Amino acid sequence: MTSRSAAFLRAETAAGRVTAKETVKTAIARAQEVGADRDGLNVFVWRDDEDARAQASTIEDRLADTQPGALLGVPVAIKDNIATLTMPTTCGSRILEGYVSPYEATVVKRLRAAGAIPFGKTNMDEFAMGSSTEHSAYGPTKNPISPDRVPGGSSGGSAVAVASGIVPIALGSETGGSVRQPAAFCGIVGVKPTYGRVSRFGLVAFASSLDQVGVFGATVDDAARGLGAIAGHDPMDSTSADIKVPQYHASSNADVKDLVVGLPKEYFPASLDPEIRRLCDAAVDRLRGLGATVKEVSLPHTDLAIPVYYIVAPAEASSNLARFDGVRYGFRLEGDGLRGMYEATRSTGFGPEVTRRILLGTYVLSAGYYDAYYRKAQQVRTLIADDFRRVFDSGVHVLFTPTAPSTAFPIGAISDPYEMYLSDIFTATANLAGVPAMSLPIGRVGGLPVGGQFLASHFDEARMFTAAYALERALGAEAHA
């Protein structure tokens, strides 16, 4: 049942042909079948099946409502850095082990209001710092298509929850590609909305000017309905935009005859895997065949995205993570005085990747280096945003690129941090510029999924979904072959 679309589950539940209890029972059974626990795919860090059943029991009370909810009876997995009242929020870290938030994230409240059933907290790279979900204190998550490989990260657990058929929709978070890259690696759809489109209230901060809640879906329509349920202005988030949210799924049958698709030449370098290039070319040919206009464009500052991102993000992280000191949250180790307690708690509670980024961020913000590194990175970030603005102002509606430079790599294969950081080379620009972007499957190489990426202008997710719906229909089964 959970392998059916969110729209199907909602319609069947609203009509009384399926009960939410049956759907939750199926989701639990599917989690057990695919080995979602720590000894298997390691999808969840916390799952309360009894609570899920209890929530399902309350859904029947809503069937008489005039508007029973856009996601009525749909189970949705939640990334472990999104605050929930009924389950711990640990960010994949020992330093927050067992911590239960006293309040709930706005996106979770909106899911509940839409009739969805939060179904477990998913594994992730510690504090969302990673591209493989290998940096979790609770062990790595495995790719359901090839369990010896990574699912991508940092939202790998949420991606696998959808890709393995446990739930049709899951929430993740993005700072530099942490929804789109795992979506590509797992052969599903992942959406990063415009910065400000979805509330960040209740999302544990990594890099506040980059962080966003994103959505995974088994299909474009699942992702569209999931985003529609959580998007919108939130007075609890000062960065939330008061801009009307369209019905993204309304463009499911729209044509693309007037669509102008840009191909940024910087995203198709000579070093790009020829098989990934071939699948991208085939996807572009399908768009042309549907009547879209395709032209080459340039985003000249793209090659600076990774160095800019890995200055800005660690700098903000070093500030945000200062609050985890053993005093207010979670884990604590006693030491010699207050400073000793801080050192003992952090040296044990934080993993190596988090420690590395805190050190880097503190360095670039320190006296004598702030202007040389952080200020300069912010200036270049503006140039990257200007590149996108200039292209979209020229009449281009959406951009199409590869999502990642490779398919899912083997667990443990990349030990060099810089090489791992390059996994975000095609995704980090969207976070730096604040524009919406999404990944959808366009085929396979050696049996492993490849994702194609659409990017659009600020708050133009609807046009991005129009293009994605059309390409998904055109590719059909080829997207997963």
410 closest CA partner among 114, 146, 72: 146
- Torsions phi, psi of 127, nearest 5? 55, 30
192 closest CA partner among 10, 465, 382, 425: 465
The whole-angstrom separation of Cα 174 and Cα 436 is 11
- Helices 376-393 and 305-320, axial angle in degrees (round to 10): 120
Q: Which helix (H) or strand (E) holds 285?
A: helix 274-289
Q: Please identify which of the residues 178, 252, 318, 439 carries the catalytic annotation.
A: 178
Q: Please identify which of the residues 101, 132, 146, 154 carries the catalytic annotation.
A: 154
Instruction: Identify whether 79 is a catalytic site residue.
Output: yes
Token couple for 147: 């369990």
450 closest CA partner among 272, 253, 193, 309: 272
* Cβ burial 276-291 (10 Å sphere, 16+ → b, else e): beebbeebbebbeebe
Q: Please identify which of the residues 79, 109, 121, 142 carries the catalytic annotation.
A: 79
Helix/strand/coil for 445:
strand
Q: Which helix (H) or strand (E) holds 278?
A: helix 274-289
CB 223 within 8 A of CB 146: no
CB 445 within 8 A of CB 275: yes
408 closest CA partner among 346, 451, 366, 461: 451
116 closest CA partner among 171, 68, 72: 72
Helix/strand/coil for 372:
helix
Instruction: Identify whether 154 is a catalytic site residue.
Output: yes
Instruction: Identify whether 178 is a catalytic site residue.
Output: yes
Catalytic (active-site) positions: 79, 154, 178
